[in-house]
Chain A
C-alpha cells in the first residue's frame, strides 16, 4: 500500500517546477528552505521574528484564517503581518516586498465601511428637518440649533412606527423641560 502510494506521489508532482526525482540526500538539503505551511520550497519567502520560514501567500492565508489568534504556525509565538521579514535571494529579479502582493483569496471577502460616511440623511435635502431647542451662553445658539445649519443628522423615523411615537414623546418632554427651564430663568 505504502509503496504504491509513493509512486503515485512521485508521478503527480511534475507541475511544481522542480525535479521530484532527486535523491533523498539532496532533498534533505532543500528542506531547510521549505515553507512550514505548504512544505514546498518557499516562494515569496518571508521569515517571522521567531525565525520560521513561510511562503508569503501561505502565511497570509493562515493569518486571514485566524484573525483573532495570530500565532506562528510552528512555535505559536505572536506574529503579525507587519512584523515579518521578506527574504530576497540574489537570483530574484524583482526586489519588491513580497508582502505587497495579496494572494488570490476565496470569495466572500468584505471590507469594513469607513466610519462617518454612512449617515442616512443630510439636513434639509430629504425630508428630515429637525427641530431642536438649545440654550447656550450666546443667544444666537438658540437659532443656529433651531435652523440646523449644515449639521448632518440621522433621518427621522417613519410615521406610525414605534420609534416615531417614542421620538415624538421624547421631543414633547424636552419641549416642556425647556419651557420650564426658561420660566425658571425669568422668575429667578
Chain B
C-alpha cells in the first residue's frame, strides 16, 4: 500500500477516536487489518428519522490511491433508504464518487453518511423500489424504514402489525428477510407479497 494512504489513515484514525462525535457515540471506526486498508465504521441513526436508535455498520475499503480517490464504503447493516441498495448496501452519494475531495476524511465521510440518513435524495436513487415508495407514500416509507431499523440495526420501534405479517409469511416457509423485502416492496400488502413470493 502506498505510504501516503497508510500514513493518512493512521492520522485520521486518531482524529476520529478523539473527536467529539465519538464521545457522543454518533460515529465509530475500527481497524480490521494492520495495513490500514480495511476498516469498520459505525454510525448512529440520526434523531427524528426512522433510523433513530439504530446502529449502522459500514464496510470501508481504502484504495492505494487514497486520499486522491475516495474510500469505498457500503452498508453492512441492511437498511431501507432511497440512496442505499436494500440488497447490497451500495451507497449513492456524490462525495464518494466524483465530488470527492482529498481533504475529506473518514470522519467527514461518516458524518456525511449520517446526514444522508436524515436527508434522502429520492430523485437520485440507488434503490428504485425504495425511492418510489418514498415519493408516492412517505408514511409507508417511514414505517418500513423504522421496521428495518428495528430488525437489523437494533432500533427500539417494533411494529407488531409488521411483525405478525412477516410471521405469517415465515410460517408459509419463507425466509424472514425475503418476507420483509416482499412486504416492504408491496407496501405491506400481504396478498401481493405472497403472490410475488410464490409466483
Q: List residues of chain A with CB under 8 Å of any chain B CB.
A: 1-2, 5-6, 8-9, 12-13, 16, 36-40, 52, 58, 61-62, 65, 69, 71-74, 76
Evaluate contact between A40 and B7: CB separation under 8 angstroms.
Answer: yes
Give the chain B neighbours of A16 by CB distance below 8 A.
7
Knowing A38-B4, A62-B68, A65-B69, the reply to whether A5 touches B102 (Cβ < 8 A) is: no
Knowing A1-B30, A65-B68, A65-B69, the reply to whether A58 touches B102 (Cβ < 8 A) is: yes
Q: 7 A-B Cβ contacts within 8 A?
A: A9-B10, A37-B103, A38-B67, A58-B102, A62-B102, A73-B102, A73-B104
Instruction: Find the A residue at minimum CB distance from B29.
Output: A2
Evaluate contact between A74 and B103: CB separation under 8 angstroms.
Answer: yes
Extra pairs beyond A2-B30, A5-B31, A62-B68 (18, CB < 8 Å): A1-B30, A1-B31, A2-B17, A9-B10, A9-B13, A12-B10, A16-B7, A36-B102, A36-B103, A38-B4, A58-B102, A65-B65, A65-B68, A72-B101, A73-B101, A73-B102, A73-B104, A74-B103
Q: Interface of chain A, helix or strand or loop or mixed?
A: loop
Give the chain B neighbours of A8 by CB distance below 8 A.
34
Count of B interface residues, CB-CB < 8 Å: 21
Instruction: Find the A residue at minimum CB distance from B98.
Output: A69
What string of 1s and 0s marks CB contacts (under 8 Å) between B71-115 and chain A?
Answer: 000000000000000000000000000100111100000000000
Give the chain A neighbours of B7 by CB distance below 8 A.
13, 16, 38-40
Among candidates B10, B13, B101, residue contacting A74 with C-beta atoms closer than 8 Å: B101
Please give the distance in Å from A32's CB to the nearest CB on chain B. Answer: 14
Among candidates B8, B17, B101, residue contacting A38 with C-beta atoms closer than 8 Å: B8
Give the chain B neighbours of A12 by CB distance below 8 A.
10
Instruction: Find the A residue at minimum CB distance from B4.
Output: A38
Please give the distance in Å from B34's CB to the nearest CB on chain A. Answer: 8
Among candidates B14, B31, B103, residue contacting A73 with C-beta atoms closer than 8 Å: B103
Give the chain B neighbours of A5 by CB distance below 8 A.
13, 17, 31
Q: Is B59 an interface residue (CB 8 A)?
A: no
- Whole-angstrom CA separation of A74 from B101 in the bound complex: 7
Evaluate contact between B103 and A9: CB separation under 8 angstroms.
Answer: no
Q: Is B11 an interface residue (CB 8 A)?
A: yes
Give the chain B neighbours of A13 by CB distance below 8 A.
7, 10
Give the chain A neighbours of B121 by CB distance below 8 A.
none
Instruction: Find the A residue at minimum CB distance from B5.
Output: A38
Q: Is B12 an interface residue (CB 8 A)?
A: yes
Among candidates A6, A36, A37, A52, residue contacting B17 with C-beta atoms closer than 8 Å: A6
- Whole-angstrom CA separation of A99 from B72 in the bound complex: 31
